[in-house]
Chains A and B, each alone.
Chain A
């Protein structure tokens, strides 16, 4: 019953999506007025039907309706209710439905918000949404049906992969999907602008908040993924350059580039083609990522099921790329613009360089990800590209980005005079150099970390200096104190100061990455009770093992007392969990964080003969916690950027 309801809703929504695609075409040819609304109503119809389908699947999961195959494979009677709900994105079929659901929610909001505006663009925007929606609905309805039934009905389900039973897994996929889907909004408006032939800045200003929001969810999704990897996978790292991680990260790069380069177009009407291309690439990469992870062509730790779905994503990807770049070529005459770059030392060129660096990073990561495929197809040689490739290629690029992050927001538009440079950068640069020198005297002697931390300090100094000058002006004009002045400034110029805060968050994240990449220590040993292991300033003493039966698994836990510089910091308990459905145990690493470093304990094994022997791996990873703090700073900054303000309060961007 539930299954029939869900599946028929999907099929009806698919039919409506086809109507949504056809109606703007008919309207353009015959009767504009009557058909204009049809496209919009088809979106609202799809929204309702997909919501019914999603609700049906969630109901099936919660009520453990094992007649639905998807439910039987992803829940058990013992599964707690919240993990039953998150089972919606526990496997391929459900996560495609979640994707489609988020997509159609976005489409519905867009269609509703702009129902009285953009009369020319909207039917086409809605059509683009309907095309994407029709593709997903087609895949869900005909290829990878989450409502497939199973007979005979099993007594109990197989359950979620135990690794997914974690709070972060409840948020990571929806965040990431929201980020991916969010990119459809600027993409749809860009395509609509191309179709209509009105290639001014309207599509950019309209979608500005949407793009920032999508970027925010992409960032958050990737960070939560990294946190999950660090927290749950228990290998002591947060990023392995695995193909699936790359697939989630790659759209972030052109999206970030886009956020910066559109400012150049808004301000100087340059880079029109470039911006259109960036958004096409960013959107295509979200589809490419799904193709990569679902086709099984690249093996990954994220063991997804593979099937015919991958081929369809590849076809759709080809369709999008051909269609959108075809449109771009078709409108090429309209895009011949444009003011030229006045000087290499200007904000335009800083943003342009930022874009070049981001796109280079994208290209290198893309190449590294698909290189095993190319190699096997072309030369028949089996290779794998290890993390060292990605690290050695991206580190210099990201250092360039950090430098540009210091320069870009402060340097003058068009042509920066010597005075302008001196005014904005003399003091911050001196302070940063002094900081770097201090680090060198203290103990940072390696070139790359020294350069990295100095550049990070440079970013912070330029922003602080600029804000301090603005605050001094507020004090002079309005007699406002620091706090009051900060509030006024960020209200008057949300994007600038919100952007500063986001940059600060990025600085903190890069600081965490740099610290943990360069100054980690690790050691592994087999310990008997009362034996200890020393890593850096830590001494870890083994106190014993204990085992306990948990509702879903058997847990073996080691007790390790941690001494930091001789001080007793208490006992921490890394564990191994034995699930009946899994062949091998799942580690539960434990870490103790401080602002300066994490101590991370992994129980890698224990002797079954002598129960009082344990193999322990200890990692000391400096500054990791700043990555997560940086994430929260980004949330705050983004909120400042997009918070709706009454029109009167806003002023022209500086």
Chain B
């Protein structure tokens, strides 16, 4: 086998391995951003997948259990109300009637199991915004999402 052919084969193997790793990594870590109505429509195909959902926290829907750090509320985009369950500490700016983005999975019962809540800042909000907004006292469960 000639030298150049050996290099070619080596290169193909390396590129293949790299492409496989990138593809696998993306499958695992790509997080789609959906509105509640979109998510409800695609609920079946997205079940068990990590997604972000953004909208308003419905007024009067928030139930807190401070002792166990459990929060239940609904998020709406105006047409669909999506129930959310969250265990942890939400950011300070998380209040009823304001915007929020939740990250997690839709459970079999149609409830969004959030592992992270990102409150919407009035001025510097964008849907991609990482939850690690340092101006919050809230610290996202990075380690939980990493597993």
Contacts and interface: CB of A to CB of B under 8 A. Distances in A.
22 contacts: A163-B135, A236-B139, A237-B142, A299-B126, A299-B128, A300-B130, A364-B21, A371-B30, A382-B33, A383-B30, A384-B30, A384-B128, A389-B25, A389-B30, A390-B25, A524-B89, A584-B92, A586-B134, A587-B139, A604-B89, A615-B89, A617-B89
Interface stretch (A74-82, A391-399, A498-506): A391-399
Contact of A382 (B32, B88, B134): B32
A234 B134 CA distance: 8
B134 to A, nearest CB: 5
B137 interface: yes
Contact of B22 (A233, A300, A367, A387): A367
A434 interface: no
Interface in A123-158: none
A303 B55 CA distance: 22
Contacts of B33: 382-384
B91 interface: yes
Interface in B64-83: 66-67, 69
B132 A235 contact: yes
Contact of A364 (B22, B136, B145): B22
Interface residues of A, number: 58
Given A299-B128, A372-B128, A392 B134 contact: no
B24 interface: yes
Interface in A394-419: 396
B18 A364 contact: yes
A393 B93 CA distance: 34
A386 B93 CA distance: 23
Contacts of B52: 384
A431 interface: no
A396 B129 CA distance: 28
Contacts of A368: 25
B139 A389 contact: no
A467 B18 CA distance: 35
B124 interface: yes
B3 interface: yes
Nearest to B133: A301
Interface string A352-383: 00001000100110011001100000000111
Given A299-B130, A387-B146, A526-B69, A605 B88 contact: no
Given A382-B127, A382-B128, A584-B91, A236 B69 contact: no
A480 interface: no
A602 interface: yes
B41 interface: no
Interface in A550-600: 576, 582-587
A205 interface: no
A340 interface: yes
B139 A386 contact: no
Contact of A393 (B3, B21, B128): B21
Given A300-B130, A392-B28, A587-B137, 15 more contacts: A163-B135, A235-B132, A236-B143, A298-B128, A301-B130, A301-B133, A364-B25, A381-B32, A385-B30, A386-B145, A388-B146, A390-B25, A526-B66, A586-B135, A617-B89
Lowest 7 A-B CB distances belong to which pairs? A389-B29, A382-B33, A388-B29, A584-B92, A235-B139, A389-B25, A386-B29
Interface in B93-129: 93, 124, 126-129
A311 interface: no
B46 interface: no
B86 interface: no
Contacts of A356: 14
A360 B14 contact: yes
Contact of A584 (B30, B67, B89, B136): B136
A239 to B, nearest CB: 10
Contacts of A583: 92-93, 135
Interface of A: 163, 233-237, 240, 242, 298-301, 303, 340-341, 356, 360, 363-364, 367-368, 371-372, 381-393, 396, 517, 520, 522, 524-526, 576, 582-587, 602-605, 607, 615, 617, 619
Contacts of B31: 383-386
A233 B142 CA distance: 13
A602 B25 contact: no
Given A340-B3, A584-B135, A587-B137, A522 B128 contact: no
B140 interface: yes
Of the candidates A235, A240, A386, A582, the one having the most CB atoms from chain B within 10 angstroms of its own CB is A386
B120 to A, nearest CB: 12
A36 to B, nearest CB: 44
B26 interface: yes
Contacts of A367: 22
Contacts of B134: 163, 233, 301, 586
A391 B145 CA distance: 12
A546 to B, nearest CB: 17
B29 A392 contact: yes
A393 B124 contact: no
A534 to B, nearest CB: 17
Contacts of B130: 240, 242, 299-301, 384
B110 to A, nearest CB: 23
B40 to A, nearest CB: 17
A615 B142 contact: no
A385 B29 contact: yes
B22 A525 contact: no
Of the candidates B14, B26, B29, B136, the one having the most CB atoms from chain A within 10 angstroms of its own CB is B29
Contacts of B14: 356, 360
B51 to A, nearest CB: 10
A607 B145 CA distance: 27
A387 B66 contact: no
Contacts of A617: 89, 139
Contacts of A300: 130
A599 to B, nearest CB: 15
A612 to B, nearest CB: 14
A425 to B, nearest CB: 22
A582 B135 contact: yes
A233 B25 CA distance: 27
Given A392-B25, A392-B29, A386 B50 contact: yes
Contacts of A242: 130, 132
Contacts of B135: 163, 582-584, 586
Contacts of B50: 386
A255 B101 CA distance: 38
Contacts of A586: 134-135, 137
Contacts of A364: 18, 21-22, 25
